[in-house]
Amino acid sequence: MAEVQNSNPTILNVADLPTRSRSTKKSGDYDYTSGIFAAVPNPADFLSSDSEDDDLLEEPIDEQEIFDLIKLISDPEHPLSLGELAVVSLPDISIKPTLPNVPSSPLQTVTVLITPTITHCSLATVIGLGVRVRLEQSLPPRFRMDVRIKEGTHSTGDEVNKQLGDKERVAAALENGALMQVIAKMMETCR
């Protein structure tokens, strides 16, 4: 990158970013949903009276979890995370059933709206691709990704959205070594 496009971005304090712990504090219970116990099912799930299919015991994935998956992705041009730069934010993430008319369908659509730091950021596509790749690699395949530029925040938003929504282009990008190096670098801070 020859030149930094946005040399003075607004930065949020990491401590101010939304986390799950704040909401669970009120009950005083141990926080089962984070840290090394994340993989251990909450006993409450087993105690609940619903005794339907086994898959229903699968821990539901919510917006906070999606945010946690992508907030630590590094910006390609700043040593800062997408969460700190408010490129991704909790209110701009939503999860909806993909087929609302088929109640039995397990398909869910995750929509992530991206707010580039400047309206003409040429890296918007790379950032969007990074978010999409991160989610595809982390979430079960029953999720459909809908990663888009938030309306009105980018000069060529529609163009970027069309690329990010094109399954074939995304698949081809994943086989592009140079591009994947950039994406891998952005992901380094996620682990």
Partner 1 sequence: MAQTNSHLTLLSDLTPPSLERTWLTSPHPTLPIVATCSSDKTVRIYSLTNFKLLSTITGGHKRSVRTAAWKPHISGESVLATGSFDATVGIWRRWDNYGTNTNPTEDNLAEDEVDAEDEEWRFAVLLDGHDSEVKSVSWSPSGMLLATCARDKSIWIWEDLDDGDNNFETVAVMQEHGGDVKCVSWHPVEECLASAGYDDTIRLWREDLDDWGQVACIKGHGGTVWFLDWEGVDASPAAASVDLQRQWREQVSLSGPRLVSCSDDRTARIWRRVPKESASAAALSSAATGIPSIIRPTGTDENWEEDACLPHAHELAIYSVAWSRRTGLIASVGADGRIVLYEERFVEGGPNTDPGAGAGADSEAMDTTDDAAPSPSSLRTGWSIVAVVDGAHGIYEINHAAWAKRADRASESAGTSEEEVLVTTADDGSVKNLDRIEAAGTLHWQDPVLK
Nearer CB in complex with partner 1: 142/185: 142
Q: How far is the CB of 136 from partner 1 (least distance, A)?
A: 11
> Which residues in the 137-176 window bind partner 1 by CB under 8 A?
140-142, 144, 162, 165-169, 171-172, 175
Rounded to 5°, angle at Cα 82 from 1 and 63: 150
Q: What dihedral angle (degrees, nearest 10) is formed by the CA atoms of 152, 84, 128, 2?
A: 90
Q: Which is nearer to partner 1, 107 or 184 (CB)?
A: 107
**How many Cβ atoms from other residues are within 10 Å of residue 171's Cβ?**
9
Residues forming beta bridges with residue 112, ordered by sequence position: 93, 147
* Total residue count of the chain as it appears in this document: 191
> Is 96 among the residues that bind partner 1 (CB under 8 A)?
no
- Nearest approach in angstroms of CB 104 to partner 1 is 8
Choice from 98, 111, 138, 153 touching partner 1 (CB under 8 A)? 98
What's the distance, CA 165 to chain centroid?
Answer: 15
Smallest distance from partner 1 to CB 109, Å: 8
Query: With binding defined as CB under 8 A, does residue 55 bind partner 1?
Result: no
Backbone angles phi, psi at 122, to 5 degrees: -75, -10
Residue 20: CB partners within 8 Å, gap ≥ 6?
Answer: 31, 33, 34, 64, 68
Interaction of residue 106 with partner 1, rule CB under 8 A: yes
**57 or 102: CB nearest partner 1:** 102
As a whole number of angstroms, the distance between CA 181 and CA 174 comes to 10
Nearer Cβ to partner 1, position 29 or 159? 159
Count of residues engaged in binding partner 1, rule: CB under 8 A = 20
Give contact residues for partner 1 (rule: CB under 8 A).
98-99, 101-102, 105-107, 140-142, 144, 162, 165-169, 171-172, 175
